[in-house]
Amino acid sequence: MKWLQTLLIAALIVSVVPLPLLSQDEPAEEPVAEDAGEAADDESSEFEAMEDILRTEEEMIQGTYSYDAGRRRDPFVSLIRKRNAPVARPGGDCPIGCLIDEVTLTGIFLMPEGPVAQVQSPDQEKSFLIRVGDEFHDGDVIAITADSVRFRQMVDDFQEMKPFREVTKKLNP
């Protein structure tokens, strides 16, 4: 009951106290720009900002938007995807057309220019020589020692912090 009395008193005060009204004889004052060019520039910059926002939204809808995840998990990649899904076999000549897991290390040569490793292609028809820095379809060669070759293999696994793993292939004596 007390709140009803308070509400009625507030309504009475509002109805009694006059509110300042604009007279119809006097037009409302509008802020006057010091320079008409500044007002036009402000409007055009606001228009350009709106256009940029709309363009970005259209790119996201059309699928041309790209997200740089850095070292974080990409929130736009599905979490339902299978872990360690098999990588599709690329086509082309080795080493660019071969996967690191498919090649077999068959020899290492210590040359004056640096070590060279001999690896055999997956179909066992050809062998080829690789050096540090050579690229494969899913990674590259980072080190060659007297008895092993270390590769940096790119991994498409959303749960890993690093987008790669190191794979070492040892030479069988």
**pLDDT of 147:** 92
Pairing of strands 114-120, 127-130: antiparallel
C-alpha 57 chain-centroid distance: 17
Q: Facing residues of 130 across strands?
A: 117
Q: Which two tokens stand for residue 111?
A: 């040359």
Q: Domain 100-170 falls in which CATH fold? A: SH3 type barrels. (2.30.30)
Burial class (CB in 10 A: 0-12, 13-18, 19+), 7: exposed
Using left for φ > 0, alpha for ψ between -120 and 50, and beta otherwise, residue 36 falls in alpha
* Domain-wise residue ranges, the chain: 100-170
**pLDDT of 142:** 95
Taking the chain (173 residues) in runs of 10, the rounded mean pLDDT of each run is 71 62 52 56 79 77 64 68 54 77 91 92 84 91 94 78 86 74
**pLDDT of 108:** 94
**pLDDT of 2:** 73
Over the stretch 126-150, which tens digit does the pLDDT of each residue have?
A: 889 999 999 998 899 999 999 999 9
**pLDDT of 66:** 64
Rounded distance, CA 71 to CA 65, Å? 19
Q: Is 101 helix (H, G, I), strand (E, B) or coil?
A: helix
pTM: 0.47
Q: Facing residues of 119 across strands?
A: 105, 128
**pLDDT of 151:** 94
